[in-house]
Amino acid sequence: MPRWRSFVSRYLRWSNPVAQALALSAVTFCVVLPLCCHRLLYSYYFIRSVYLDSMSEEVLRESLDRGQDALRFWQSAASSSSGAASAGPPAFAGDDRRPELLVTVVTSRRDQGSDFHYLLQVMRRLSGVLGGCGERRCAEVLVCDVESGSLENQDARLLEAHFRVIRRSPEEQRRNRDAVNTFEREKRDYVFCLRKGWELFRPRNVVVLEDDALPKEDFFQVVRDLLSRRFSLHTLYVKLYHPERLQRYWNPEPYRILEWVGLGLVAATALLLAASSCWSPRCFSFTPSAGHLLFFTVYFMAASELLGRHYFLEARRLSPQLYAVSPATECCTPAMLFPGNSSLRVAEYLDGSFCAKGNAKDTVLYRLARATPGERSHSVEPNLISHIGAYSSVRANPARPKLL
């Protein structure tokens, strides 16, 4: 008998585990996953050339509609509050000292994408979820308008009847605008908002949101749970957002590799135990052996990575207790939690560093937290905000932004 026929008859009979493994892998990775995942944005199977443009346009259209709805909402609220000005102070303009949580929203005017009204979207969402913590509101809210150009930030002006809005003096604005590059100016704006929020409220904890960070509906429930965990007593900051495209298992972060291997082992063990007790050996020849366990561990690891870790993380939204806390990643800072008085330490650290291209404030914070003895930093997964800012206020923008 020719050698190839001997090989086929020995290893590629259906009753042989090798043949079953090859068939299972071919069906899974060449048929099932491509059919199921070709429209999932963060999957390796996503067909970018076919779907990216249309999906990007759809997201932009939805954001524009939300922005216009938010504009009408706040315009209506502003006219209502002006008619009832004698009735008392604005509903959201709290003056309580030492609130449990202060949310500071950093904003500036956008030359491009102004019709999207990102700030108004964020503030409408915040106003909707502020009452979800029981008898007392979840947080005090401060809008920090760092616009230093000659034109006014109209969205921030519209919110003054409902939220406390702070700004630099004209002299400070001019000095900040003329002296530094974009990255240093952005850092100085951030430090100003951190210090001003502390000076006005002396909060027990601080969240800083950029004006294109749209909170999820469970935002405050998860933040409260994070602050109740022991790690928050010894952390400089907790990042509440990491770009979805960077959340994959195949990543230099060691904890993700451990998570990936653990997922593969658990899934492989469960499958082999189920197969040994429920299925006929004639149909499924795998047994709880070391070789078969290794194959299915790699099989499930490959399947989960190709499908997309982002979609597994979404299952954690079932409960605040399921959100995972891990060592901080370097990028980015649209949503940050500063437990205790750590916002003051962050302001001091940032003040001692100069930011430039390649050394923006997120990079500076990440390096400082790693290099400073006793300081720790963390990230939470999945994200607590959606980053809706397709058009940046500080960087050049493409003619038509894309999701990837």
pLDDT digits (tens, 9 = 90+) for 219-251: 999 999 999 999 998 999 999 999 999 999 988
CA 29, CA 31: separation in Å to the nearest integer? Answer: 6
CB-CB contact of 333 with 346 (8 Å)? no
Report the pLDDT value the prediction gives residue 86, as an integer from 0 to 100.
41
Report the pLDDT value the prediction gives residue 96, as an integer from 0 to 100.
54
CA 381, CA 321: separation in Å to the nearest integer? Answer: 11
CA 338, CA 334: separation in Å to the nearest integer? Answer: 13
How many C-beta neighbours within 10 Å does residue 79 have? 10
Is the pLDDT score of 271 beyond 50?
yes
Mean pLDDT, residues 162-187: 83
> Chain centroid to CA 137: how far?
24
Nearest residue to 116 (alpha-carbon basis) of 157, 190, 59 = 59
Task: List the single range of 84-98, 204-218, 237-251, 271-285 with lowest mean pLDDT.
Answer: 84-98
Q: Which one of 57-66, 150-159, 176-185 scores highest in mean pLDDT? A: 57-66
Tokens of 75: 């315009």
In CATH, the architecture of 54-83+91-246+315-386 is Alpha-Beta Complex (3.90)
Nearest residue to 365 (alpha-carbon basis) of 392, 390, 338 = 338
Structural domain boundaries of the chain? 54-83+91-246+315-386
CA 159, CA 355: separation in Å to the nearest integer? Answer: 31
Is the pLDDT score of 291 beyond 60?
yes
CB-CB contact of 104 with 165 (8 Å)? no
Mean pLDDT, residues 375-381: 95
Report the pLDDT value the prediction gives residue 4, as an integer from 0 to 100.
53
SS3 192: helix
DSSP symbol at 328: P
CA 115, CA 105: separation in Å to the nearest integer? Answer: 19
The residue with greater pLDDT, 238 or 358, is 238
Phi first, then psi: give them for residue 72, nearest 5 degrees. -65, -40
The residue with greater pLDDT, 136 or 75, is 75
